[in-house]
Amino acid sequence: MNYFKTILIAVVYISISISVIHAQVHNKSWESITEKEEGPWFASKEAIAIAENVLLYQRDIGGWPKNIQMQKPLSEKENQELLAAKKSTKGCTTDNRATYQEMIFLSKMYRQVSDERYKNAFLKGLDYILEAQYDSGGWPQFYPLKKGYYTYITYNDDSMYNILRVLEEIKNKTDYFSIQPSEETVERVKVAFEKGIDCILKTQYKQNGVLTSWCAQHDENTLLPAKARAYELPSLSGKESAKIVLLLMSIENPSEEIITAVNSAVAWFEKVKITGLREDRFYNEKGKIIDKKMIPDPDAKPIWARFMELDDNTPFFCDRDGIKKATLAEIGAERRNGYAWYTNEPKEVLKKYPKWKKKYGIKPVETKTLKKKLKNEFNIVVTKDGSGDYTSIQEAINNTKSFPYQRVTIFVKNGIYYEKIKIPEWNTNISLIGESKENTIITYNDYFGKMNLGRNSTFYTYTLLVEANDFYATNLTIQNTSGEVGQAVALSVFSDRVVVENCNILGNQDTLYTSGDGNRHYFKNCYIEGTTDFIFGKATVLFENCTIHSKKNSYITAASTPKGAKYGFVFKNCKLTANEDVTKVYLGRPWRIYAKTVFINCEMGNHIKSDGWHNWSKPEAEKTAFYAEYKCFGEGFKPKERVSWSHQLKNRKAKKYTIENILGSKTVDIDYKWYANFK
């Protein structure tokens, strides 16, 4: 009797336990279920039922969609829909812990229940991760690639960190996962992990030559900080950087590069931590956050801003309009309350750092930079790795002689230089020479709305600004990467006697600004691209043997030539190209009514509109502007269909368009052929 009573009590107890567990699991998030401690529950009927959902949601490619509560029961209709979607790759991602969580769950299941389907699904997920990796070592947010910011290397919400933790456990052959891949796959994992770490080291941001932290997203090609959603601007991240550093600290016998990266990041965390401030949250009766306020509190524990300026670490906050604000209180309630703007995650880094440092006998990185004594002040070398005279182009310019009698050559070795560069009026006679135009890249991402300096904000958006006379540049890519967000200048030239040769000048609207009364500029063998008015200004400019590429149906030039100037923009032997979907491009329109623009011996693609020129709704400009062509060719050259107020030059007049006439000096103290003196 006692025996049966014992059994009955046990059965009742188990039933009650299962019921309680079911209630607990049903009310929990999928993330919390995957984080449950391994044990008998993963052999329960409830767990097995959830596992069926996990298998069903996995696509044939191996990945899973995000934000799915896998524990929720499925209807027969939902089952059929998921089976039909198996071959689809839409939505497969590693964002928001997707794929990572499902693999964790399947591993815990397989340790309790030897169902080969769990193992196969886990390994398929691993193959998906390996397949999705870029050659640069990073991972996109979605794979197959989804257009937009989703292609960027994604540290946001610890996406890449989670991937690398999976790979680390597998390559180290720990027992963290119950499923062990083949030796061949383990070797692939080792390679992928090393590439991932290398990517992390290469994307650590240098601020004035000093390593700091990481952005939430980095461009998959340039590796530079990149913009995601409107309120997620390029910035240094106090949140995502923490897990990256913890990952680097987990690597046994770290290399010198890893040690330097960790030391530098820790120094940065210490530098930018916020003290004396706490975040208070206010909830409604349903437990939803309805407000957040930052309250001064001398006893508050350190916190870090999620977004900080790339050049000076200043915290900032954004609403969906993408405009930076100085405080959390300045943005609307929806974004203020629905996003994590502060974090305390770096505290774990600072807690573990002393033990890590002691383990490897590591000395903190020396953050002070010693001024180098130049070997030759007229031949300066800039390198990213510190082997030259400077690591920053701006730093090199700042330390050159003012108004030198001798030409100063600044040689810039291959690398991506995320800098907003200004060559002041007193730094004359500078030659900025890149190692190669493909791999020596000067880039920045300011734009009109971001500058927010009033109606003239365009002129502050430059990546490179030249105010000094007698400037020469070659073998460089100069770009503004802000995208199609309005006016955003890559290169601004406000000086006289400037030569730019064999360079890429990249942007969208207002890519190249060439200005100044009487200033003369010479662009030779360059590639210049943009969308609207991407070559504009009032300087006299000769473009020779250049490729002029339109990325959008719009206008190539917007000259503002001063009244009385003999020449404005002159294009000789150039090639006009466009994106495949571009079919309606004007050669130019007058920013000011005396605009002058001439195309000579240029090949024009079929994207050029037959009427050629536009008056910008300024009828008076049809009498004052001078727009002309001479012996051009290609599908876009249709002289008989051009607007009546444009010109086709006669031979006699075309002969006047020589380099000597266009650019030649009229003063006795300057060489007449100044444009040939810089090499």
Provide the annotated active-site residues.
510, 533
Neighbours of 113 (CB within 10 A): 15
Query: What are the percentages of helix, strand and coil residues in the chain, rounded to 5?
Result: 30, 20, 45
Tokens 């340790």 locate to 111
- Both tokens of residue 49? 């039922």
Closest CA to 613 of 573, 648, 656: 648
Distance, in Å, from the CA atom of 442 to the CA atom of 476, rounded to the nearest integer, reads 7
CB 672 within 8 A of CB 665: yes
| C-beta separation of 216 from 240 below 8 A | yes
Indicate the burial class of 542 (C-beta count within 10 angstroms; 0-12, 13-18, 19 or more): buried
DSSP state string for 477-517: EEEE-S-SSSB--SEEE-SSSEEEES-EEE-SBT-EEE--T
**Cβ neighbours of residue 37 closer than 8 Å, sequence gap 6 or more:** none
- Residue 258 CA, distance from chain mean position: 23
Give me the residue label for tokens 């059929």: 80
Q: What is the DSSP string of 103-138?
A: HHHHHHHHHHS--HHHHHHHHHHHHHHHHH--TTS-
481 in Cβ contact with 222 (< 8 Å) = yes
Is the bond preceding residue 354 a cis peptide, omega within 30 degrees?
no
Residue corresponding to tokens 């209630």: 23
Residue 602, CA distances (Å) to 87, 154, 456, 548 in order: 50, 43, 33, 10
**What CA–CA distance (Å, rounded) separates 580 from 553?**
11
Nearest Cα neighbor of 474 from 412, 383, 403, 400 is 412
Cα(233)–Cα(218) distance, integer angstroms: 11
* Burial environment of residue 227 by CB neighbours within 10 A (0 to 12, 13 to 18, 19 or more): buried
Give how far the C-alpha of residue 586 lies from the chain's centroid of Cα atoms, to the nearest Å.
Answer: 31
| Encoded amino acid at 622, one letter | E
* Dist. CA 30–CA 20, nearest whole Å: 17
∠580-583-589 over CA atoms, to 5°? 125
Chain centroid to Cα 224, Å, comes to 5
H or E stretch covering 623: helix 621-624
593 with 618: CB under 8 angstroms?
A: yes
φ and ψ at residue 540, rounded to 5 degrees = -90, 120
Rounded alpha-carbon distances, angstroms, from residue 530 to 211, 322, 534, 607: 32, 22, 5, 14
User: How many CA atoms lie less than 13 Å away from 5 in the CB half-sphere?
Assistant: 2
Distance CA 243, CA 228 (A): 20
- Report yes or no: 392 and 208 within 8 Å, Cβ to Cβ: yes
Strands 512-514 and 491-493: parallel
How far is it, in rounded angstroms, from Cα 134 to Cα 144?
11
